[in-house]
């Protein structure tokens, strides 16, 4: 989808102002919102791509102005309500209750060693997205390629600032879950992934690009089309 989350190259969003230091979590609620991701991932509420798509569907002004972990909150809510696990009216009722009683405790509950074991296992093991595929890899390092210029609905990683632009394939990465499929609930459909490199002038125009700069972007096989093969490919 063409959404505000796709900010690459947007002007006028203001200064970055990186602080000298800041805590990993700035508020208690950020800790709980962070933990909801692995908890609900484990429960099958979403995969990583669907989780991102939940964030992408936030109201644009809220997306741009809310603290980061509110994005996560939004996606967990979005998927919990969509899969019927979270009753939105009950969520609203409880929100009102905690707003009026911010120090009211959470429901009493027993520790669950399984959840701790899950955390201790998944943090170092990760959740790899590499998947085998029988499809041939259509491109190789050195090929000159063009990013397809289309505007798909739903989840995609086709950033607008590179669409239609020409780049060089600089690396082949293996085959991975395809976000344009998995993020839209259509299965993993693994695709080959390449890193392609754009000259700054190709992205922004000679007149506006900073000299001697480039940007790389990772693309799945269907994202690119061949302009010309690597030199010497037929030698």
Partner 1 sequence: MSSKARSSQETAARVKALESMLIEKGLMTTEMVDRLVEIYETEVGPQLGAKVVAKAWTDPDFKARLLKDATEACKEVGISGLQGEDMVVLEDTDDVHHAIVCTLCSCYPWPVLGLPPNWYKEPQYRSRIVREPRKVLAEEFGYQIPEEKEIRIWDSSSEMRYWVLPQRPAGTEGLTEDQLAELVTRDSMIGVGPVKGAS
- By CB under 8 A, what part of segment 109-128 binds partner 1? 109-112, 115-116, 119-120, 122-128
* Contact status: 205 vs partner 1 (CB under 8 A): no
**What SS3 string covers 93-107?**
HHHHHHHHCCCCCCC
Measured CA angle at 186 (ends 56, 74), to 5 deg: 25
Cβ–Cβ < 8 Å for 221, 139: yes
Instruction: Give residues with Cβ within 8 angstroms of 81, minimum separation 6.
Output: 87, 88, 91
Residue of 2, 95, 149, 151 that binds partner 1 (CB under 8 A): 95
- Shortest Cβ 193–partner 1 spacing (Å): 5
User: x/- string (CB under 8 A) for partner 1, residues 29-48?
Assistant: x-xxxxxx-xxx-xx----x
Judged by beta carbon, residue 13 or residue 235, the one nearer partner 1 is: 13
Which residue lies nearer to partner 1 by CB, 58 or 169? 58
Q: Which of 142, 146, 172, 174 binds partner 1 (CB under 8 A)?
A: 174
Q: Is 7 helix (H, G, I), strand (E, B) or coil?
A: coil
Does residue 12 contact residue 165 with C-beta atoms inside 8 Å?
no
Q: How many CA atoms lie within 13 A of 113 on its CB side?
A: 0
Rule CB under 8 A: say whether 85 interacts with partner 1. yes
For residue 234, the minimal CB distance to partner 1 (Å) is 29
What's the closest the beta carbon of residue 227 comes to partner 1, in angstroms?
A: 20
Question: How does DSSP classify residue 183?
Answer: T
Whole-number minimum distance, CB 91 to partner 1, in Å? 6
Identify the H or E element spanning 71.
Answer: helix 68-82
96 sits near partner 1 (criterion: CB under 8 A) = yes
Which range touches partner 1 (CB under 8 A), out of 136-144, 146-154, 190-198, 226-234?
A: 190-198
CA pair distance 139, 223, nearest whole angstrom: 11
Record the tokens describing residue 214, joined without a space: 């480039």
Q: Do residues 86 and 74 lie in contact, with contact meaning Cβ atoms separated by under 8 Å?
A: no
Instruction: Report how many residues bind partner 1 under the rule CB under 8 A.
Output: 108
Near partner 1 in 134-153, by CB under 8 A: none
Backbone angles phi, psi at 8, to 5 degrees: -55, 120
Q: Helices 28-42 and 113-125 sit at what angle, rounded to 10 degrees?
A: 90
Q: Which is nearer to partner 1, 141 or 233 (CB)?
A: 141
Member of 167, 220, 221, 224 binding partner 1 (CB under 8 A): 220
Stretch 58-77 residues interacting with partner 1 (CB under 8 A): 58-59, 61-62, 64-68, 70, 73-74, 76-77
């Amino acid at each position: 989808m063409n959404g505000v989350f796709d900010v690459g190259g947007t002007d006028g969003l203001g200064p970055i102002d990186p602080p000298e230091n800041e805590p990993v979590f700035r508020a208690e609620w950020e800790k709980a919102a962070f933990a909801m991701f692995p908890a609900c991932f484990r429960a099958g509420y979403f995969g990583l791509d669907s989780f991102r798509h939940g964030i992408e569907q936030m109201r644009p002004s809220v997306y741009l102005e809310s603290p980061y972990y509110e994005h996560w909150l939004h996606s967990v809510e979005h998927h919990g309500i969509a899969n019927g696990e979270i009753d939105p009216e009950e969520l609203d009722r409880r929100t009102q209750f905690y707003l009026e009683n911010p120090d009211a405790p959470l429901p009493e509950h027993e520790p669950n060693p399984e959840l701790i074991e899950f955390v201790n296992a998944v943090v170092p093991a990760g959740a790899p997205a590499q998947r085998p595929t029988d499809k041939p890899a259509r491109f190789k390092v050195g090929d000159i390629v063009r990013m397809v210029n289309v505007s798909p609905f739903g989840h995609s990683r086709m950033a607008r600032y590179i669409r239609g632009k020409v780049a060089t394939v600089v690396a082949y990465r293996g085959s991975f879950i395809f976000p344009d499929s998995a993020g839209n609930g259509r299965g993993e459909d693994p695709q080959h992934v390449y890193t392609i490199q754009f000259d700054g002038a190709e992205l922004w125009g000679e007149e506006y690009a900073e000299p001697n700069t480039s940007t790389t972007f990772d693309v799945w096989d269907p994202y690119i089309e061949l302009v010309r093969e690597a030199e010497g490919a037929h030698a």
